[in-house]
Structures are given as C-alpha cells and as structure tokens.
Structure 1
Amino acid sequence: MTDSQTAAERIAQLRSELDDHNYRYYVLDEPSVPDAEYDRLFRELKALETEHPELITPESPTQRVGSKALSAVLPRPNVAFAPVRHLIPMLSLDNAFDEQAMLEFDRRVREGLAEELPPGDLFGNGPEVEYSCELKLDGLAVSLLYENGFLVRGATRGDGSVGEDITANVRTVRSIPLRLRGDGWPASLEVRGEVYMPKVEFERLNAEAIAEGGKTFANPRNAAAGSIRQLDPSVTEMRRLSFFTYGVGFAEGDLPGTQLDRLALLRSWGFPLNRELKKAVGVQACLAYYQDIAIKRDELPYEIDGVVFKVNRIDFQLELGFRAREPRWAIAHKFPAREELTELLDVEFQVGRTGAVTPVARLKPVQVAGVTVSNATLHNMDEVARLGLMIGDTVIIRRAGDVIPQVMQVVAERRPDDARPVDIPTQCPVCGSQVERTQLVKRSKGKESVSEGAIYRCVGRLFCQAQLKQAIIHFVSRRAMDIDGLGDKIVEQLVDKGLVKSPADLYTLIYDQIIELEGFAEVSTRNLLGSIANSRKPSLARFVFALGIPDVGEETAKLLARSLGKLDRIQEALPEVLTYLPDVGAEVAYEIHNFFEDEHNCKVIAELRDPQHGVLLQDEGDVSAELAACATLDGMLVKLNITSIGPTSARKLVAKLDSLDKIIAADGIDLRQVLSSKQADAVREFFKVEANRKLAREIEAQLLEFGMHWNSARKSVEGLPLAGQTWVLTGTLERMSRDIAKARLESLGAKVSNSVSTKTHCVVAGESAGSKLAKAHELNVAVMDEEQLVKLLADHGIGA
C-alpha cells in the first residue's frame, strides 16, 4: 500500500486484481501471475481486512468460506439442507447410445421444425440443424442465482423441481464468481452448470484418505457430490472443486438468441466455459465431434461420460418444447461402456415385488470406468444359460451407459476345475415357498400355445416378506399413495414386527405401535399417522398404480382410470375389452385381468375399501366419451382370433349377418355366401365350441354394460364445452394435483398436451411455472391461474 492510498482504496485494488487473476486462470485459462504472487496478494488483502473488519464485504475473495459449519448451528449433524424450489425445473436429458439413436434424434428435431427450416438443396439433401456441442461432465448439476450481479444462492438439481440450498459450499468453488464482471447482466440471473472434481484432485483426495486409514471415494462424481454437500464449507474448500457453466435457467430481460451466444456472454460475465465447446451443422458433424472427443477422452483432466447436443437456436428450442421431464431439443450421446475382467465368486437370488426370483452376480471387486463393481445383474436364468455361466468363472464386466454393471461374457479358457453350475432354487430364499417358472400363453387365430417364460416366481405372494416389503414400498411411494414418512427402513420394521401383512394394514396402525419403532418420537409418529390419514382419498389413477399390477406403470394406470372411470369396471374388464383402450395390448390386458382374478388381490382391495380402512377413491365416473359405442361387431370378431378371419372378412360377414346371435347360429350355406369355404368352416368350427360361444357373449354383454357396444348411445365429444381445445398445465397447483386437473379438463372434452404451440387454447400456470409459461406469452396464448381454473370447473359443475 502506498503512502497516498487509504486502506479502503488498497482493499478495492487488491480485490480487483485477485478477481482479474481468477478470471484469467479459471475462465481464460491464461494465468498472468505465478501462484506464489496470487497467494501474496491474497494474504495482503486478508491482513488488511483483519485490521479493518468494517470494510469486509460478502463478495471479497477472502469470504468464500464465511459460514459456520451447519453441524455447529443445527440441532442434528445429519440434518438435510434447506429445500429450494427452482424458478424453472432442471430437466434431465434423453440418452443416445449409438449412431442410430442420434440419427433418430436429429430426424425428430427436423420434423418438429419442418415449418421453420429452409427447404433442402437441389440434390435432395434435407435441411440441417445447427447444434451446440458440449461435454457431459461426470459431476453434480447446480443452479446459481445472482441478484444485481452478486451470488445470492446455490442449489443442487434435486428432483428437478426442488433441490437443496448449498450456497455456503458453492461459494468455496473458486471458479464460480461471487460477483459478475462487466455490465449488462440481468437484475436477476440463474446460471446452471456442473461442479466437478478434476482427476488430479480426486487422486490426491483418495491418497490422503488411504494414508489416514479413511474411506476412499469410488469415482470423481461421488467425490464431487459428497464434497458439495458437506455440512462444513471449509471441508468443501479443501476438496478443490471446479465448475463449468452450461446455460441459463432464468433471466430478467432479453438474452442472445442462441445457446452458444448465451454461453459466450456468460463467459464475459466471469463464468468458465469448457474449452471443447463447439458448433456443429447437421447430425454428421455432431457424430464427428463425438468421435473426436472419444479419442481424447482419457487425456482430459476431468471425467466425462458422453457429449451433449443442443439445438442452438433458442426459438427452435421453444418450438420443440418438452416431453415429460426431457427437452425435445437436447440429447446426451453416451460413450460405450467400459469393460474389465473379474471373477464370479457366487450367484445369489433376490426376490422382487412381483415375486420374480432374480440371479445376482457377486464378483471379486474390480474398477470399471472409475467405479468399484462387486455386484452385477444377470437378468434371469435364460441369460445365465446364454452366457454358459458357472461359479468360479472369469467374466467380462461392462457398465452399460457407464451406469449399470452387467456380465457380458465368460472367458471359457480360464474356467477352473472346481467351477460350479448356477442352479435356480426350488424354494424361495426368503420365505421357503415353492419357486415356479412362469408360462407364456400365446393366443392367435383360435389357437393357444404355452411355452416356458424366462422368469421364475415365488408363489408366496404377500406371505413372502420380500414381496410384501417391496409391495408396501411401492404402494406408499410418492407417485402412488404418497404416504410421506414411510421410507424403506420403516416399511421393513413394520413388516418384520408383523404390524403390516398387507397394504390394508397401514390404515389400522395406531400411535402406540408406531412410536415403538426405531427413530420415532411423538412428533414424527403423529406426522406419519397424519400422512396415512391424508392418503385415504386417492385419485383412481394413483390407487390403480399403487396396486402394483405387473406391466402397469403410472401412465397405463392413468389410462385405465381415465378410460373406464371406475375401479369396478377395471376389475371386471375382460382382456378383449381392455384391448379397446389405446396402447393396451393383449399381453398387458391379460396381466391386468389375471391380477384382478386373483382371490388374494381382490381380498386386499376389498379390505382397503371397507369402512374400517376407509380408502375412498376420488374422480370415479363414466366410461370416457372416446370409448362410448367405440366397439364394432366386426372388430369384436377379429379380437376372438378366429382362424382365417381378419378385418376384411369380418366386415363382409357382418354386412350379411348383423348380430352376434345370427353369426353363431349361421349354417355353412349362409356363411359361404360371403366367405370362402375355408373361412366359413373356421367360423362354424369356432362357434361349435361352447367355451368360445360363452366368451363371445360375455364380451358383448360387457361392452353393453360399459356403454361400449355398437348399439350403445354415442357420447358426443364435440358437444362437450371444451371440445376441440388443447390445454397445457404447468407449474405446481395447490388445490388439486395436475393429474386431477388433467382428468377434469378431459372430462369437459379438452385435450391436455405437454407442449405449448400456436394451436394451444389456454395454459394453466401454477406456482413456479417455467418455460411453458414463457412460450405462452411469446405466442400470445391465453394464460389462466389456478383460481380461474377452479372457477371454470365450478361453472361446469365440477368441484375442486
């Protein structure tokens, strides 16, 4: 400090110099001074701030570690970080594992932008899309919020909607600016990027852990995630994490119109960009970039597991929109799996929710793509046979997509003399019940063939504690009955103590039973009882999904609820009737039907719905308008799989004989007037069988009962108040779930879509609405809040 300088002036000068050195080091990768000079300036600043504490500001380089350890200020050392709801959800990416998947992605993008792209050239080449090419770092995605140029909050991705507040820890990452450089930045700016641990730091950290007898990290990703969630920020600082930005989540005001230009602007504001960032025109250029990065992957100073391609133009991104929780305009092209050799020590068998007995390989631990692998999936016994696997074999292990360990191949020439065969147990390893091989029933054109399936199942059902625990865990999960506080460990306790022997038993639990469980006190006990009570009124779709019907996921459960309207109909529905529902094939239909045919399953459902347990299903109603009178007689004949009878011959037959009774009673002469002799004989032979006549009449009777019969009254979808309108739901609704809002809008004739376009009639925006709301404003689409939606529904006689 010169004689003429004040302490405040020198402090300001030092901060500016250190900020500039940080920018040159982390952003430009052009350090202008040796580390020793940087350290000297840092020590001088720290000494001056110690002498003049009134001049310390939060954005000073010395204040990156400025908070006490959470364990020192919070009542429990394992307390969770505070939740943070993202202004705009942090979505995951779809994956491509080969060139064909990339070509399909590019095709979908070009089809989605067909009206926006220029025509192809005279040689028949189609239009090409401009992409940004970015590395997919193996780290932890974070959100950084800046207000008036200062970092005010850092958060993890979490579940995409809600993350954890890690502000104190991200401040310790030196490549993350505490205040923005330059000018022109928005008053409110949310930047997204990846916190990662460089390879050299990962190796240093593990070497120190080994020297101290501590636990090592499996890979840099785990090390980064564990470091950024330390309760003591000073520990995070010692881990020497780094950061690259990959985009903007939210910004007040306008930003450049392309992804690459936005990243360049972020760089000017002080954010580090990955040096491998490039632009590619067309999918072939993307594939070339992928190959180039694959070659240099091992030379990079950090771990990556693929590359990310994003449509460069932001307006094109908005046009393409999103699918479920993935953008349609981006994809992660993952690298091929890494493979290693190891020894198969044993094969154990696990029992899943549906009773499937699955072999699991226990391996001699081996490092595969940076992760220690000691277990691997074997899928089923057919896979064991295909591999020719024996215990003691040397095997090739692969991490598929760098995630799931798999046994790929046996090295037969290394098989030891004492190798043992892998035998499926005849009794369940958990409950001792018999293990049976599933049978596959194939029905086609009047014939039924039975073959052995690949799955072995324990027949103990809920008597088997493994199945019971998994069934309960699924039943209480967030997307099912949503009973908060019933984690896996609590479910295991309830089952092990005999307090819960079926899902219905959850609703008879009392205070004295729960408080005796490990980890429960008065408040947590009352909270769990309250959560159980709050789950007594699920939507029909949630309840159907919670039942755990094989092959029935969340979307199929919604489809069943929306289409058939009542649980009784779903339970009674014949497989042939279920196939009238869109996207329900014969195999799924038989799984649903067989589930509800099972006496034990019906007993559990009846117990859940009886007054003692009090589960009251919501939103039950009529068969959907789309299914009303949807069946035709010729279509039903096709579903009966009569040999030689297809759609054309069935139409000819119905044109002559216009009722099922007439067709059943028809003789050969009547049938040969419209069918070939072979077809006529097939129809006659089919209906000679009493079981076939009975089935046909049962299907027709059920179609009549459900209002789906060709003689049923057709509901006019067009006559409904919102018919022909496309609506979009976004954000969080308080008065009802989005699933319920969707069902109620559909009951009024609306189509509910996942993306906003010029054809969208209205967008319902709840709390924290994001890109869909922004696009609605851009396209001048009408926007409605939740209160307005509730009023609209009430005006049409539908309560919230």
Structure 2
Amino acid sequence: MGRVTTADHAEATTASSELREEYAALVDEVARHQVAYHQKDSPLISDAQYDQLIHRLRTIEADHPELASADSPTQQVGGAPSEAFAPVTHLRRMYSLEDLFSASELRTWYDRASASLQEQRPGEQPRWLVELKIDGLAISLLYRHGELVWAATRGDGTTGEDVTHNVRTIADIPHHLTGDNHPEELEVRGEIFMPSEAFEAFNQTLIDAGKTPLANPRNAAAGSIRQKDPRKTAQRPLSMFVHGIGARSGFEPTSQHHAYEALAEWGLPVSPYTAILDSFEEILDYLETYERKRHELVHEIDGVVIKVDDFAQQRSLGHTSRVPRWAAAYKYPPEEVATRLLDIREHVGRTGRVTPYAVLKKVKVAGSEVQRATLHNQDVVKAKGVLIGDDVMVRKAGDVIPEVIGPVLPSRDGREDELREYEFPERCPACGTVLAPGKEGDVDYRCPNAESCPAQLSERVAHIGSRGALDIESLGYEAGLALTNPDLRRPAELDTIDREAAEASGAPVTFGPKGVSPQTPVLRNEADLFDLTAEDVKDVYVWREVRHAGEPTGKWAPSLYFWTKPQWDRHGALKKPSEPTANTIQLFEEMHKAKAQPLWRVLVALSIRHVGPTASRALSAAYGSMDKIRAADEEELAGIDGVGPVIAASVREWFSVDWHCRLVDQWAAAGVRMEDEVDEDTPRTLEGVTVVVTGSLEGYSRDESKEAIIARGGRAAGSVSKKTDVVVAGANAGSKLAKAEQLGIPVLDEAEFSELLSNGPGRWKQADD
C-alpha cells in the first residue's frame, strides 16, 4: 500500500465530511417521514421513495459503521406509538422485515439463509412459505382462552397503540374464537386492509358527498383504525388476514402453515394466496405470477413475503436487532409515487368529452416515466382537493393510465402563495365552442361541434386505424394529427423558427409578417379518408423542435410528414425528389385492405357513442348490413342480446345526424364493405349459447375466437355470470376461470373449444345437468 500524501489526506477528510453531512441529513429526513407515516397516517412521499432513502442510509452505515448510532432510523421498527392512544406492550416483539428489490438481492438472501441453516442443522432442507405482502396496517391481537383481550398497532415493535375498541368493529376479527382447544394465551399478528373494490366504492361515496377521497387503501386502513370514535371505524369496510403468531401458551405448532391451519379452524381469516414451495425457482414463479395478477386480488399488495416455514429452523436462524434472518420482503416496482403538479389542462376526446389531465414533473412509476395523469372530470378535481403547484401522489396500475390520487397536504406548508385552484374552461380548448353536458344530469362536459372540432376529428381518425376498429397500420394518433390538424404545434413567433432548417425541409411554408401562414388540413371530415391518394398528402408538414447533438435548441422547423425530404446537390440542383415514405406506402396499402373488413369493425370505426366491439358484433350478427341497422327502430335494436336500450338510443341518435349518414354513404362509395358475407357452410352450432374465452389460445387470437363463436350463432361474452354456458380457458387464465369454477360452469381447453365449435355444447350440457 502506497504512502498517503498530505493532498490525499485532505481529499479523504473532505469526502468524509461530505458523507457525514449527507448521513446526518438522511437521518433527519427518514425520521421525519417515519413520524408522518406511522403516527400521522399522512405520508409525505411514496413507499418506494421512502425505500430508496432508507436503502441509502443502510448502505452508508454498512460502509461506514462508525457513523451508525443506536437511534438511527435503520435501527427502529415502525414508529413510536402515538400519544393519542394508550400504550400496549407486546408479549413478543414485532419485527420489521429485510426489504429486497431485485431477483439478485433475493438470491443472495436465499443462499445466505440456506447456508446458515445447513451449518446449524446439517442435512435439513428448508421449505419456504410465501404470502402476499398486504399494503395495510400491521396489527397484533391477544386472545386468552379464546377471548379477544386487546388489539394493538405495531408501534416501535415493542410498544404499540391500544386500538381494541376500533378493531372490535371489524367483522372479520372474531371476539371469541370458534371451535375448542384454544390456547391459554395467543398473540395473533395480521394486516388490516380495505379491500380494493370496497375502497373504490367508499371513495365514490365521499366524492358524491363532495368530500375529499382517501388517498389509498393503506392510508384508509390506518386512518380508520386510529379514529377516536369506534362508530366511525365501523363505517369503514375493513378486513384482516393473519400473517403470523407471536407469544403463545398451550399452542405449539411445528410450522407456519400448521399455525395458519389452526387459526383458520378457530375462525381467524387466513389469506387464500399463501403457498409452500421447495426451491428458488418456484419462488420466482410465484413472484412473477402475482405481479401479473396483483390487480385482480382482493387487496392491494406491494410485494411478497418469503419465510422459512419450520419453526425450529426459524429459531435456529434467529434475528438481528431489527429483522428476522428467516424472513424477507421482496418489493415489486413502485406503482405509487409523489411528484409536483405543474399544471392542469384539458383533452378533447373523439366523442367530444373534455377531460382535465395533470401535467407532472417527470417521475418513474411502475417502471415507466410519467409526465401526464388523468383527473377524470372537473368534479373529481374539486373532490380530490388538488391545487396547481401541489405535491401529489400518482398511481399507475399495470397498463392503466396514471392517475392523480390526491395532494400531499403537509407539503403545502410555507408554499401557499405558489398554489392556485383549477378552473374548468367554458369553451372548447380546441375550437372555442361553448361546452355543455351531453344530456341533462351528465357530469362530463362535451364539445358539441362534433363534425368540425379538430381535436375530435384527430381522435376519430386515429380511432379508425386502431386494432379494435379497422386495424390500419400506420394510421395512429400522429398520422391523424397530420391529416386533420398539422399546425397543432405551429410556433407563434417568427424568432422561434429555424429559417435555415425550414428552407432545407422541402415543406411549402409561407412566411408572413406576423408568422407562418396556416395549412389547410387534408381532412376536414373523416368521410374523405378512403378517397385520399398519396399525392393528396404530398405537401403535409408538421412542426418539430430542432436538436443539435441530441439536445433541444428551442427553435422549430417544418418537416414533411408523409413524403421524404428532397435532396439538392451543392450547386442547388435537385438530386433526389421527394417521394412517399415507406410508412405512407404501407398506410395506403393497409387502407385499401381495410375496405374489406367485416361489418362490426366498420361500426366500431364510426365512433358511435357506447358502441364498442361487443355491441358492434351483436348488431352485425343480428342484421348483417349497415342499411338494415340504419332502418331498425330503437325498440327493435334494444331487444338484441348485447345491445339494450342505452346503446339502441345511441345508435338511433347517431344515424339521425345528416353528416353521419353522408359519412357512411361516402365510405360505401369508396368501396368500404357495408354488408357481411353469409357463409352458408358454417353450422349454427351455438345458437343461444353464451361462451366466455379467457387466457391465451394458440390457434385463435382474441378476436378470432369471438368471431368463431358469433359466426355459429353464439354469444361471446366478456364476463362470467350465472348466464354463462361454457368457459374456454387458455394459458394464463385469471379471475374469470376462478369464477367459472366457483359457479360450477363447464371449463374447456382449446381442443374442446374446437369440438364445441363443430358439434355444439351437447356433452358439456349433459355433464352440467
């Protein structure tokens, strides 16, 4: 090792000083968040952001143990109990769990626990109990001779808050254990939560009453248990699942899962999602399965808990000062984070509905970066109580559009002058038409200028190309904008235009004294869509920000959208003329193919309110042609299975508008198919039979399976009910399969589905009978 110079020593001292400052600031910040989360039920940041802070704190302490102190937040379990409730000392300490954030971290923990167990108990192989980590409030229940004595929060792990009166209002928690042979004394550990569906319903009642909705199920559960008046707790839809036991006398189960079996016999609620596994690979499969299913469950989760199942093996592994060595929590990527609400703007949809949305400071949610989130409508904005400039909690569930949950109220302190209320516009932000409810009593406001509003037209054109409609490759939202509203991003000031880039673009830009002259959109109405040629879109350009070395310059320039940029040589002679791009050639080829799509897809493409794929299939199956649908009266339409009075009224209203009828006629004249071909060879084997397909089939796409059912006279339903005759389950079938089994509905695999299509439901009906 080389000699340390004076300069080296100074640099090391400086680095140590910076690290100490960071560490001290982290200790204070984490402690503040622990108080907000555990004592006030008002977290200032998301769980994921808190995890990042505590992880950094632990990393510093691991690398520099001389910095760690006994009062570090990393040495605490939960938070100090609130003084608002009487203290309760747990008979056995309630520990936290070590958090793991990746498969590699889990592997390291798994190997360490397995190796340690082999050293202490040679030849013994652990079995692993895995259960979902419920996003709720940890609770400890004490039973003596089967009677509930008290209930306490975790608190700091040693002392919790006495919330017995509130817990007694929860129907899932028995006051007296059922059965017999109850232990003399038993601490039951569990998680109190608000079920997902109940949470949504409860929040809706708050919104309907003009009150601020609850931020999330975890805060809802914690806040409900800490109500001073048990009658208020009783009004909240709370549940509990058991996840362990503490001190006990007269009860010595050999393993975690044996304990759960006994608790279930005594009437305590045990999670249905628990499993016993034998290997790391099985644990990974469990993690992946429930990450996919996490939004189909009874409750919200943020990860999975992995435990050594055998109690003797647990005792051998023991605990650190904070966590057991025999259990850990694997955390899924965050789906709820805090960020700044920069602005609230409005989106005009294809049916004219004007929806406010949040413009956010960029933040990563569920693995993707988010800058926008839905706010549903102006009443929801008011009910959520968010102000522009607020720090807000944002949630993203799976592939669902991100949603603003609510404000982080404590962060407003000292920032009141930076915040402002949102005002919903009186006029359409796209065309200036006065907004109005679609009909009396509607919460949503709509732009009534359906035919000419550029925002609605752009959305409708993009919808025509979507997979659920005519499935036209290259006709997405950007292409829709280029056809209908190419100047959407046109610079307002001349000095923001890069004139050199504009001249080299080949776009026919006209500069005036006050700016750039507007383009005339190629489409003023989607009726002309199928009459377009590549030549018609030759001069269409859009505005893009100019970048140098990948960095934005703040200058804008036009760019031809459908044709290539022409090329000149150094003498100014045209070297290569502009020509249709590969995407444009594909667009027109796909538009030609789309003319032959079946009638139900044409119906979807028309953007008739309430008429999606299911209703369109029902209409096309019942009538077979657009002319017959146009001629049908409302009562007749309403009588079709899968249509009903709301959709029937919407269809009749749509065809009563002159420009809608001209649109259909013009499409028909351009060659769009308006009548289905009847296949006389397809047997009507499923007349009156309702079939639900769930999961992935190898031989059928989702649309193909539905079309095969409808072509044979059956009804392809989207949900399972008592009226369902047969369920076809492919790979990764989820809750629909579970409901079918619960209702005793016959479940078919793919081979049996083919037999069903050929021969009808005969043998399965007999089996059902």
TM score, norm. by length of structure 2: 0.35
